[in-house]
């Protein structure tokens, strides 16, 4: 269990010597608690502190990597809910491939998946892994399929094969690619040997929490570290329940056998149930979602979008680009509004100007994504900086308007802004965006 700053403080020398680079022992303890520092930075830490902190420092959910270069990292999560801090590692989306499909079909799917990289708010979105299921008679099919995938893609692989000899052939081909092996049966000694020999992660599959705990404990006992848990669920409700129990066990009770990333295989037939189940997995704690062997870009795009939303860092404000945005079809004589580049601010202000039915220029200043008052308090949204931005973007060459509407919350900067922006008249707008339409009706803005 993670120690609080106060608990760590009690283990430190309490001399406030500053040799760790932080002014007080308490400050250092709080950094340690937030995992923003290492105990080794304190030259005076005792043996006792090292032992206690070492035990507490083990992450509650193990970080596991799958794949060679650009490996997918999963696990290492620290909270139940995104708003408590953030979720660190986005769910890996894996597409199932079956040897029974034949080499050609597999190659075609892999190529289409490789080509499907849609962009959303400046970020490329794609699947992360392939899940290869051996379901044909011939053991040689398996290695052949691995070869085809490897030739056409650099994504990581999860291998599922009942025939250990065939599995071994497949693993031989992936020596430097850190694959994962999905166990169709209970963990056996041979599996552990194989995983250790090839540096592969093991996906433990179980039908009950007790079974899963026993297998995970055995794998830990054998010295395996790269473990992924797959607890089979009969329906979506059970999936949610299982995943919640496992995550709570790992985080709240520091129950080590459950301190590994989770994998869910989605098996529903109907596209809607499939999407529902996959969405639940993305939102609630699955680190890998394995989709059935259907290539459906509508489904993928939906999941990508959901994943992007869940795994953005809520601590970092979402920003829009600093520039002049046209609202409607503004001319050189349309009104000019100015506000900050916090995305919510932008969306609300632009939406309300649009609602008013007029066309206008909306100048968005870069304040590192802060809201109006926060940016003002930090000196980022003041007369000087706004005037500089307006000059830098040469707004005066684009518009003939010489009135600038500022947010009502920063009415106090109007004098400074006028001084810094000769020739312009500053108009103090309303405090709330929702009052923009009525404001526009009551004031002359050009």
- Contact set with other proteins (CB under 8 A): 4-7, 9, 14, 16, 23-27, 30, 33, 83-86, 314-315, 376-379, 382, 384, 412, 416
For other proteins, which is the closer residue by CB, 22 or 113?
22
8 A C-beta contact, residue 209 and residue 231: yes
**C-beta closer to other proteins: residue 58 or 84:** 84
76 or 86: whose CB is closer to other proteins? Answer: 86
Of 25 and 61, which CB lies nearer to other proteins in the complex structure?
25
CB-based contact 194:167 (threshold 8 Å): yes
Give the list of residues 6+ apart from residue 162 with CB closer than 8 angstroms, or none.
134, 184, 185
H or E element that contains 32: helix 25-33
Tokens of 223: 């010295």
CA–CA separation, 22 vs 446, rounded Å?
Answer: 54
Secondary structure E strands in 211-302: 227-231, 262-265, 286-291
Q: In the complex, what is the shortest distance from the CB of residue 340 to other proteins, in angstroms, rounded to a whole number?
A: 15
CB of 30 to other proteins, least distance (A): 7
Quote the least distance from Cβ 418 to other proteins, whole Å: 13
Q: Which is nearer to other proteins, 65 or 82 (CB)?
A: 82
Q: In the bound complex, what is the minimum distance in angstroms from residue 413's beta carbon to other proteins?
A: 8
Between 60 and 257, name the residue whose CB sits nearer to other proteins. 60
CB of 25 to other proteins, least distance (A): 7
Give the distance from CA 220 to its chain's centroid: 28
Contact 274, 268 (CB under 8 A): yes
DSSP state of 319: B
Q: How far is the CB of 44 from other proteins (least distance, A)?
A: 16
Q: Is 139 helix (H, G, I), strand (E, B) or coil?
A: coil
The radius of gyration computed from the CA coordinates of the chain, to the nearest angstrom, equals 28
In this structure, what are the phi and psi dihedrals at residue 86, rounded to the nearest 5 degrees? -170, 160
Distance CA 221, CA 214 (A): 10
In whole angstroms, the minimum distance from the beta carbon of 349 to other proteins comes to 20
Cβ of residue 420: shortest distance to other proteins, in angstroms? 11
Tell me the three state secondary structure of residue 182: strand
Q: Which is nearer to other proteins, 152 or 312 (CB)?
A: 312
Helices then strands (H, E): number in the chain?
17, 17
Q: Are 156 and 68 in contact (CB under 8 A)?
A: yes
- In whole angstroms, the minimum distance from the beta carbon of 4 to other proteins comes to 3
- The CA distance from 94 to 180, in Å, is 12
70's torsion region: left (phi>0), alpha (psi -120 to 50) or beta? Answer: left
Q: What are the residues facing 94 on neighbouring strands?
A: 129, 290
The nearer residue to other proteins, 4 or 446, going by C-beta atoms, is 4
CB of 49 to other proteins, least distance (A): 15
5 versus 162: smaller Cβ distance to other proteins: 5
Nearest one of 235, 223, 219, 168 to 198, comparing CA atoms: 168
Nearer to other proteins, 31 or 178 (CB): 31
CA 3, 242, 158 angle in degrees (round to 5)? 95
């Amino acid at each position: 269990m993670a120690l609080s700053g106060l608990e760590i403080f009690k283990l430190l020398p309490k001399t406030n010597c500053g040799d760790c680079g932080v002014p007080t022992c308490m400050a250092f303890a709080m950094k340690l608690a937030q995992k923003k520092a290492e105990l080794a930075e304190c030259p005076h830490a005792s043996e006792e502190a090292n032992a206690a902190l070492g035990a507490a420092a083990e992450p509650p959910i193990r970080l596991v990597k799958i794949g060679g270069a650009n490996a997918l990292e999963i696990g290492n999560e620290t909270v139940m809910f995104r708003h408590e801090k953030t979720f660190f590692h986005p769910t890996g989306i894996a597409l199932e491939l079956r040897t029974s499909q034949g080499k050609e079909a597999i190659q075609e799917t892999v190529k289409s998946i490789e080509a499907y990289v849609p962009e959303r708010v400046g970020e490329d979105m794609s699947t992360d892994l392939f899940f290869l299921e051996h379901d044909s008679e011939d053991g040689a099919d398996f290695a052949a399929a691995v070869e085809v995938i490897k030739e056409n893609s650099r994504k990581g692989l999860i291998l599922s094969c009942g025939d250990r000899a065939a599995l071994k052939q497949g693993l031989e081909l992936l020596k430097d690619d850190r694959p994962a092996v999905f166990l169709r049966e209970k963990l056996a000694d041979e599996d552990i040997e194989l995983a250790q020999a090839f540096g592969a992660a093991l996906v433990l599959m179980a039908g009950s929490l007790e079974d899963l705990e026993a297998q995970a404990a055995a794998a830990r006992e054998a010295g395996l570290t790269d473990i992924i848990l797959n607890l089979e669920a009969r329906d979506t409700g059970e999936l949610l329940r299982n995943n919640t129990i496992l995550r709570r066990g790992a985080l709240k009770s520091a129950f080590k056998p459950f301190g590994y990333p989770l994998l869910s295989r989605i098996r529903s037939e109907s596209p809607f149930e499939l999407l529902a189940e996959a969405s639940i997995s993305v939102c609630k704690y699955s680190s890998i979602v394995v989709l059935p062997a259907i290539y459906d870009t509508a489904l993928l795009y939906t999941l990508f979008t959901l994943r992007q939303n869940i795994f953005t860092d809520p601590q970092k404000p979402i920003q829009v680009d600093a520039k002049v945005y046209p609202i409607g079809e503004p001319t050189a004589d349309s009104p000019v509004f100015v506000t900050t580049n916090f995305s919510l601010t932008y969306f609300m202000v632009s939406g309300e100007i649009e609602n008013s039915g007029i066309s206008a220029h909306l100048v968005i200043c870069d304040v590192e994504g802060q809201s109006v008052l926060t940016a003002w308090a930090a000196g980022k949204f003041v007369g000087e900086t706004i005037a500089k931005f307006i000059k830098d973007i040469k707004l005066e060459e684009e518009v003939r308007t010489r009135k600038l509407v500022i947010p009502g919350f920063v009415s106090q900067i109007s004098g400074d802004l006028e001084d810094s922006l000769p020739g312009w008249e500053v108009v103090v707008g309303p405090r709330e965006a929702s009052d923009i339409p009525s404001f526009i009706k009551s004031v002359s803005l050009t």
